[in-house]
Structure 1
Amino acid sequence: MTAAPQPEPTQRPARAPRQPRPGPVAPPMDLDALIADPETRIVVCCGAGGVGKTTTSAALALAAAEAGRTVVVLTIDPARRLAQSLGLVELDNEPRRVDIPGGAATGATGQLHAMMLDMKRTFDDIVAAHSTPERAQQILENPFYQALSSSFAGTQEYMAMEKLGQLRASEQWDLIVVDTPPSRSALDFLDAPNRMSRFLDGTMIRLLMAPSRAGFKFASAGFLLFSRIVSKILGGQLLRDISAFVAALDTMFGGFRERATATYELLRRPGTWFVVVATPEPDALREASYFVDRLSAEGMPLAGLVLNRTHPPATTALSATRADGAAEEVLEAGGPGAELAAAALRVHAERMQLAAREQHLADRFTSAHPEVAVRTVPAAAGDVHDLDGLRSMGEELTGPDGDTPTGTPRSRVLPARRR
């Protein structure tokens, strides 16, 4: 008895190759229009440390001056790179005029000034301006004040806010560009006024102020008990220095809060724009994401993200895979110049892989913040150390969106995949 024939297995239709999903497309950022707009009065460049905020700030300030604005750029970078880039020997707490070669020849009517925040001098000026000469002398000579004004956590960020308020109140410049401090967290700049207020309202400060406010007899029992406990922790001399400092500073506390509130509100008004700067690295973009969320929560105006030091390839017509394959074929074929041609193809493949990685990170940011405009800035061949370097960076920041060697929009590192 023969076995019944088995039915032939049905063949499943071959699956169509999976098409790559198109990445998110960020809106373009028109920094050229933003800095040329007379309604724009303050531009704050912020982000994690080491992402190029200082050069971005200086390049935008130079571009604005060459567009006819009267600009001052305030840097908090102690490395003095900005002074060198602007052709100055040094920068200090007062604005210095920057000579722009060729400005008259091009018809530019703007002016550029630059300054570097001196944290202690700014604090000293506040003390002198808001107290009597005798009281100011007491404060300035107090050891605790000298430590506070030089190294207290958050003082640099707070003084940057103070200096910004002073520059804006002077009405001397129609555009102020601020390079925020190189804090470990980019949020420190926005948190500085509240941190200073919390310090001034802290339990220790209020107890130390009790004798000067309510009279020593009224507060003596609680204060003496408190002082004995704290003296064991801090040391008697430090406690006396702090107490004398607080007593001398008491009349200025309201002024600190008022100015902090006024400057914070200044950052929320029309005419102020925040430019978040990051590099195509996970930590820097994570910090940028936190900052964007905070600005949104506070209702502060965000111009967009500058993705600095990207590595776009010279051409996007040849993929990394095809370049690697072509390198192998060239070596197998041999002939004069084969090794050189293969090396060039492999360099291109590596550049394409790096650009793809950077674009992937940028896409993740855009997926989380689809409304945030993006401007990519290619990495310079070397350090930006003069006005020409700043001008070249300014052109990358403000150039037309599609005016690139490969035609890739300046909002991207690589072209968007077709849908």
Structure 2
Amino acid sequence: MSAAEETPAASARPARGARTAADRLAPSMDLAALIGDPDTRIVVCCGSGGVGKTTTSAALALAAAEAGRRVVVLTIDPARRLAQSLGLVELDNEPRPVDVPGAAGELHAMMLDMKRTFDDIVVAHSTPERAEQILANPFYQTLSSSFAGTQEYMAMEKLGQLRAGDRWDLIVVDTPPSRSALDFLDAPNRMSRFLDGTMIRLLIAPSRAGFRFASAGFLFFSRIISKVLGGQLLRDISAFVTALDTMFGGFRERATATYELLRRPGTWFVVVATPEPDALREASYFVDRLSAEGMPLAGLVLNRTHPPASTALSATRAEAAAEAIGDDGEPAGALAAGALRVHAERMTLAAREQRLADRFTSAHPEVGMRTVPAAAGDVHDLDGLRVMAEALTGPDGDTPTGVPRTRVLPARRA
């Protein structure tokens, strides 16, 4: 937004009937109806790291369980505070029941263990002898625990397993914290491309009867690669891909099936961001990608906003009033002046957050939005999750100031 746009005296009045970016209202997002709909089977919370995806996922799952659904929330965040907030000592790779007093439904929670998930895939899709050979291979141990994209791919594998079991009314997925919000969508195809790549094909070729003629070329190739990677690593890779050869088709098939699962009716993506330029930029990229891929977007959760206690007094008037009474020397006057300055700071912060939200809405006018006020501290118990769930699913206008939950401040009048 230019300086002229931010300074009313320097900007021209819009034509009658025209709407500025700040006046454009984002559509509302009814998350209560979405998670309560029996046809909604998967909700994927995504966005950049550090925006509150994990807490948002848990709060939505809790709200769905209290609405009567049988829910499992799959989180990727290893922080113990989520387990503690759900009343559990720890989370692992299997769903654990969460005690939610008075809930009409059920809530289970789990935390992805990507290596264990990969191990389970190997065991399920190969003979016991071949599985033992793969699991003991040093290259596999590295691939299954630290290869770029493995965490995202295994999250999708686990999602596919949960959905195939048909045990759950609703699966809520907290996507991995990635440097790029696009990694989650790319992961299945990236893993498939890796396992079907040229180098992998060359490493497998000498072990196949139809490729015996390639052995001489492979020896020359392996000598070169050995100088770069080291002979032992190359032997480990070759042994790994030879043992894994029979599983290649399964990886590709599951990658394709999982990707299509995300596009089916009953799956919804919820993009989570904070009112910061970088987080909203990532959210914008994700919205564009979801649109390009034809995937269902529910809307944007703008998390950790700072709405003021009242919107009746502007920051400018609050500052002026503080100046007017701040020098009278009376304790009551000093206290009132301090309160006015705090309100002015809060209004200024809220105005900044609203401008950022308006910019996003200007770029994506079709995307629904729900603002969620920042909590006073970390969410560390079910009561804290319920407060966030109410902000996510409560009636649009049911706020202390009456400002719709799509906004931080009221819309300016034309």
TM-score by length of 1: 0.94
Secondary structure at the counterpart of residue 377 of structure 2: coil
Report 1:371-410 matches (<5 A).
371-410=366-405
Q: Between the two proteins, what is the percent identity of the paired residues? A: 86
Counterpart residue number, 1:95: 95
| 1:118 alignment partner, one of 108, 113, 119 | 113
CA distance in 2, matches of 1:56, 1:418: 32
| 2:165 alignment partner, one of 157, 161, 170 | 170
Which sections of structure 2, spanning at least 5 residues, go unmatched? 1-8, 15-19
Letter in 1 for 2:42: I
| 2:337 alignment partner, one of 337, 342, 360 | 342
Counterpart residue number, 2:257: 262
Report 1:104-115 matches (<5 A).
108-115=103-110
Matching of residue 235 in structure 1 with residue 227 in structure 2? no
Q: Check 1:16–1:182 CA distance in 2 against 1; reply closer, same or farther (3 A cut).
A: closer
Report 1:110-149 matches (<5 A).
110-149=105-144
Secondary structure at the counterpart of residue 267 of structure 1: helix
| 1:154 alignment partner, one of 142, 149, 152 | 149
Secondary structure at the counterpart of residue 310 of structure 2: coil
Which sections of structure 1, spanning at least 5 residues, go unmatched? 1-14
- Deviation at 1:18? 5.5
Counterpart residue number, 1:327: 322
How many residue pairs align between the two structures? 400
Counterpart residue number, 1:56: 56
Counterpart residue number, 2:17: none
CA distance in 2, matches of 1:216, 1:370: 56
Q: Check 1:16–1:366 CA distance in 2 against 1; reply closer, same or farther (3 A cut).
A: closer
Counterpart residue number, 1:292: 287
Indicate the structure (1 or 2) with the bigger Cα radius of gyration.
1
Secondary structure at the counterpart of residue 313 of structure 1: coil
Q: 1:99-126 CA deviation, whole Å, 9 max, x = no partner?
A: 012x1xxxx4200000000000000000
Q: Is the 8 A contact 2:205 2:212 kept in 1?
A: no
Letter in 1 for 2:156: M
Matching of residue 204 in structure 1 with residue 167 in structure 2? no
Letter in 2 for 1:111: E
- Deviation beyond 4 Å, 4+ runs, structure 1: 15-22
Q: Is the 8 A contact 2:196 2:248 kept in 1?
A: no
CA distance in 2, matches of 1:214, 1:410: 65
Q: Check 1:52–1:16 CA distance in 2 against 1; reply closer, same or farther (3 A cut).
A: closer
- Deviation at 1:217? 3.4
- Deviation at 1:137? 0.2
CA distance in 1, matches of 2:227, 2:198: 18
CA distance in 2, matches of 1:323, 1:197: 59
Q: Check 1:131–1:281 CA distance in 2 against 1; reply closer, same or farther (3 A cut).
A: same
Letter in 2 for 1:65: A
TM-score by length of 2: 0.95
Letter in 2 for 1:335: E
CA distance in 1, matches of 2:410, 2:158: 42
